Chain A
Amino acid sequence: MTAQEKLIAVFGGVVGLLALATIVGRLLRRRGESAVVDNLVARVNAWWAMVAVLAVCFGLGPLANLVVFALISFFALREFITLTPTRPGDHLPLAVAFYVLVPLQYWLIWDQWYGLFAIFIPVYAFLALPALAVFAGDTTDFLERTTKIQWGVMITVYCISHAPALLMLKLRGYDGQGPLLLLYLLLVVQLSDVMQYVFGKLFGRHKLAPVVSPSKTVEGLVGGGLAAIAVGASLWWITPFSPLESAAMSALIVVCGALGGLALSAVKRSLGAKDWGRMIEGHGGMMDRMDSVCYAAPVFFHMTRWFYSG
């Protein structure tokens, strides 16, 4: 199979899964209306829309992928900063974050400038953001304000950008198949989230972290995580990994994704919100969907780069 055929095959599988979920939703609705079923149906409908967007951007090629992920970062940063109290003195660093850092970080991927991509935000943006805020002359909560902007930029721009950065990796015997690796990451992360939700609703007894994330259960995490690892392992043929290695990589993605979901849920609650936003019907905001990707993408990127670079 060529890379193109593999892409089509995987998307076909996803469409099949969604069709199944849609039918299950219809059947559940026929047995009776409830808030949980309504939310399930809304989530599945939103998934159709998200998969359609991804299918189009995978079809159009790497540039479309980068543009879509740059927009994802932009919207995620927007949600993060909307919930974060800032002061007029933060206007310049925030304008730079939205209008300069986001496009520049993704341009570095397009330019395949790995060295600068890896340090641009953690070194230069980290130092520049507080320096830009200094000129407003407002020292009230200066450290807290600076930290929140830096944190938002790191998570929503730097971390998320590692997903499409998979496209620039040069791996042994895996030329021109970067898009498949990106699809693999997204599929395992999102499937892990979905399966944790399904297993949690069906078998959930013990809450994992009741204060931070009331809907997460131990049964959901273990059952959903194992299911996602099984699917990830069975997709080894679209990756540079052997089946066993693919299972290990999926396990890594699942663990990082779960930790990301928990950590960002704690951040969200410390900002006084239940959802990051309202952009995606049934899911909440962009960050409610990307929280696991924020943690999984950079770790998966560097592990793959370390072990499989050619």
Chain B
Amino acid sequence: MIERLAAAGLVGFTRMLVGARAHWRAPMPHGQCLYYANHSSHLDTLAIWSALEPARRAATRPVAARDYWDKPGLRRYFSGRVLRAILIERRRDARDGDPLAPAIAALAAGDSLILFPEGTRTAQRLPQPFRGGLHRLAQQFPQLHVVPVWLDTLHRSMPKGARIPLPLYCTAHFGAPLERLPDESRDAFLVRARDALVALADAGSPA
């Protein structure tokens, strides 16, 4: 109950601050999804999560960095109890075992995920090359819809290093799920996934 109120509050706050409107460029896929997006600000997770309609949102969990979201207090409460985030250890020395294991477990349990395949935030408009995690998850779950999501203004709302977010309107542009090609190499898949995101960016609104 309290978590649901907190979730509504979080969505309201995000909408007020950055709009977070969803624009489906292709028909919404039915079933389990892996949403992947460009990563440029701390608001990215909240923006995609808020842009999804309530039923989808309830079944969707963000994959997030443990070093940012697992801080005592509000951040841990929201990431753990409200967003039900899957926290990934980014520091190699602190890892034990497969860092993607919790994400794989969540997918196996039927959850949809939000993933930022660049691994870290970038100051540029266009994403950096993708890391391998996206490919591994897609390989293990062939029925999963891998959906590109382009966040159009958040790199301007809260660029790396900025403390105060600007209240620009952000639209989350959802593209068509990636086609699954047999015998595609890891690198070719990652390049194709990034290209799909860049194509959404170039067709989108200016900025």
Seen from chain A, the residues whose Cβ lies within 8 Å of a Cβ on chain B are 74, 78-79, 81-88, 91, 94-95, 98-99, 271-273, 277-278
B206:A78 contact, CB within 8 angstroms? no
B185 within 8 A of A: no
Q: Tell me the bound Cα distance from A136 to B55 in angstroms.
A: 43
Contact mask B193-207 → A, CB, 8 Å, 1/0? 000000000000111
- A91 in contact with B21 (CB, 8 Å): no
Q: How far is the CB of B20 from chain A (nearest CB, A)?
A: 13
A87 to B, closest residue via Cβ: B156
In-complex Cβ contact of A95 among B153, B161, B166, B206 (8 A): B166
Which single member of B21, B123, B167 contacts A88 (CB below 8 Å)?
B123
- CB-defined contacts of B166 to chain A, threshold 8 Å: 81, 91, 94-95, 98
Chain B residues lying within 8 Å of A82, measured Cβ to Cβ, are 153, 168-169, 207
A99/B164 contact (C-beta < 8 A), A82-B207, A88-B123, A273-B205 known? yes
Contact yes or no, A83 B167, CB < 8 A: no
Contact across chains for B206 and A273 when beta carbons are under 8 A apart: yes
Q: Is B162 an interface residue (CB 8 A)?
A: yes
**A277 proximity list for chain B (CB < 8 A):** 169
For residue B48, give the distance in angstroms from its CB to the closest CB of chain A: 18
B159 beta carbon closer than 8 Å to chain A: yes
21 A–B contacts, CB within 8 A, in A order: A78-B168, A82-B153, A82-B168, A82-B169, A82-B207, A83-B205, A84-B207, A85-B206, A85-B207, A88-B123, A88-B155, A88-B160, A88-B162, A91-B166, A95-B166, A98-B166, A98-B167, A99-B164, A273-B205, A277-B169, A278-B21
B residues near A, CB below 8 A?
21, 123, 153, 155-156, 159-162, 164, 166-169, 205-207
Q: Tell whether, in the assembled complex, residue A88 and residue B168 are in contact, meaning their CB atoms are under 8 Å apart.
A: no
Known interface pairs A83-B206, A271-B206, A273-B206. Does A88 touch B164 (Cβ–Cβ under 8 Å)? no
| Contact flag A78-B167 (CB < 8 Å), given A88-B159, A91-B162 | yes
Distance, CA A286 to CA B122, complexed state (A): 32
Contacts of A278 in B (CB 8 A): 21
- How many Å lie between the Cα of A74 and that of B169 in the bound state? 12
Question: For residue B205, which residues in chain A have a CB less than 8 angstroms away from its CB?
Answer: 83, 272-273
Minimal beta-carbon separation of A274 from chain B (angstroms): 10
Residue among A81, A99, A273 having the largest count of chain B Cβ atoms under 10 Å: A81
Tell me if B207 and A83 are in contact (CB < 8 A): yes
Most B Cβ at <10 Å: residue of A78, A91, A271: A91
Shortest Cβ distance from A127 into chain B, in angstroms?
21
Closest residue on chain B to residue A279 by CB atoms: B169
Chain B: minimal CB distance from A71 (Å): 12
In the assembly, what is the distance between CA of A126 and CA of B194, in Å?
41
Q: How far is the CA of A82 from the CA of B153 in the complex (A)?
A: 7
Cβ of A101 to closest chain B Cβ, rounded Å = 13
CA distance A125 to B207 in the complex (A): 24
Measured in the bound complex, the distance between the Cα atoms of B155 and A91 in whole Å is 11
**Which residues on A sit within 8 Å (CB–CB) of B123?**
88
Residues of B within 8 A of A95 (CB): 164, 166
Inter-chain CA distance A278–B205, complex, in Å, is 13
Are A272 and B156 in contact, with the CB atoms below 8 A?
Answer: no
Q: Smallest CB–CB gap between B126 and chain A, Å?
A: 14
Residue among B155, B156, B159, B169 making CB contact with A79, cutoff 8 Å: B169
Bound CA–CA A52/B167 (angstroms):
26
Contact partner, A272, options B21, B160, B168, B206, Cβ 8 Å: B206
User: Contacts A88-B123, A91-B159, A278-B21 given: A81-B168 contact, CB under 8 Å?
Assistant: yes
Minimum distance in angstroms from A287 CB to a CB of chain B: 12
B169 to A, closest residue via Cβ: A82
A91 contacts across to B, CB distance below 8 A? 159, 162, 166
Known contacts: A271-B206, A272-B206, A278-B21. The answer to whether A86 contacts B156 by CB under 8 A is yes
- Measured between beta carbons, the chain A residues less than 8 angstroms from B169 are 78-79, 82, 277
The 4 closest A-B pairs by CB, nearest first: A88-B159, A272-B206, A82-B169, A82-B168
**Inside 8 A of A98's CB, which chain B residues have their CB?**
166-167
Give, as a whole number of angstroms, the nearest-CB distance from A260 to chain B.
22
A residues near B159, Cβ cutoff 8 Å: 88, 91
Q: How far is the CB of A278 from chain B (nearest CB, A)?
A: 7
**Nearest Cβ in chain A — how far from B164, in angstroms?**
5
CB distance from B160 to the nearest CB of A (A): 8
Give the complex CA separation of A82 and B156 in angstroms. Answer: 9
Write the chain A residue with the least CB distance to B168.
A82
Q: What is the CB-to-nearest-CB distance from A182 to chain B, in angstroms, rounded to a whole number?
A: 26
